[in-house]
Amino acid sequence: MTGICEGRVCIVTGAGRGIGREHALMLASEGAKVVVNDLGGEIDGSGRSSGPAQDVVDDIAAAGGDAVVNGDDISDWEGAQRLVNQAVDTFGGLDVVVNNAGILRDRMLTNMTEEEWDAVIQVHLKGTFAPSRWAAAYWRERSKAGEPNDGRIINTSSPSGIYGNVGQANYGAAKAGIAAFTIIAAKELARYGVTVNAIAPAALTRMTENLGMGQADEATKEKMSPRWIAPIVTWLASPESREVTGRVFDVSGQALSVSEGWHRGPTAEPLDDPAQLGPVVTKLVADARPNANMFGYDEQQ
């Protein structure tokens, strides 16, 4: 297979189903060698099966591509290290890490349990940090040895994290953390020849079908297909994207855009008397742009 990712070694976490599966298939179709990581669990993280990851590897092989299964838990420190090591040992190096794996434990804040909070933060936030950390260490050592890198980390945030969504305090907090992690890691890893970007996808998958998307008409379902997410990830994984880093891309079958992060808004002189702050804060809030809704637009629109 030849394409814009020809010969690049890519890890895709959570690649057994949904968005991750589309990433793995398209990367392979563009010439990448893919490590297909997936625990094969349910959307809440329970259960385990090698079947989904193996199915993706079989599909890639049938199309003439090169891929292997990895069943490590990416939120486990040693598991994440084994994942990176497998890519290097199997294919001779590592160029791209796509952090995609995730679970849902949706609950209103007043009813959320500690376990529901911890499980989601563990998989999404630590599960992004751990593979990224081991990949970064690999690229740093190459750089110190005088070897060039053209590395990529591509993270998965969410509209729930960058815009906010009721019932997803755990998931949204993790995804907002991933967006911040992306910006900081991009600054830190530039010296090693590595870019770091993120996507905030909206797609109809088994994780979102219970959020109302499953009742959409067929035309809308097509526009919300996870296949629309893979092209930007594949491009970001390619050498063509080496000048783009530290950005979050809002993507669906309806639009591709760059999400603009926090910026300092209206400003006033500080006061040391809290009793005088009422009218000052009222004016600041009135002058400020409203928070975005789940579609990324001002709440008033």
Residue 221 designated active-site: no
Closest CA to 13 of 136, 103, 98: 98
Cβ neighbourhood burial of 299 (10 Å; 0-12, 13-18, 19+): exposed
Active-site entry in 138, 163, 171, 192: 171
Residue 46 annotated to the active site: no
Q: 186: helix, coil or strand?
A: helix
Catalytic one of 29, 132, 158, 259: 158
* Residues 86, 236, 85: CA angle, nearest 5 degrees: 10
Question: Known catalytic residue: 144?
Answer: no
- Catalytic site residue from 175, 192, 238, 259: 175
Spatial contact of 27 and 238, defined as CB atoms under 8 Å apart: no
Q: Tell me the CA distances in angstroms from 282 to 6, 209, 269, 278, one per residue in order.
A: 55, 40, 14, 6
Question: Which of the 8 DSSP states describes residue 291?
Answer: P
Signed CA dihedral, 202, 207, 211, 216: sign only: positive
Residue numbers annotated as active site: 158, 171, 175
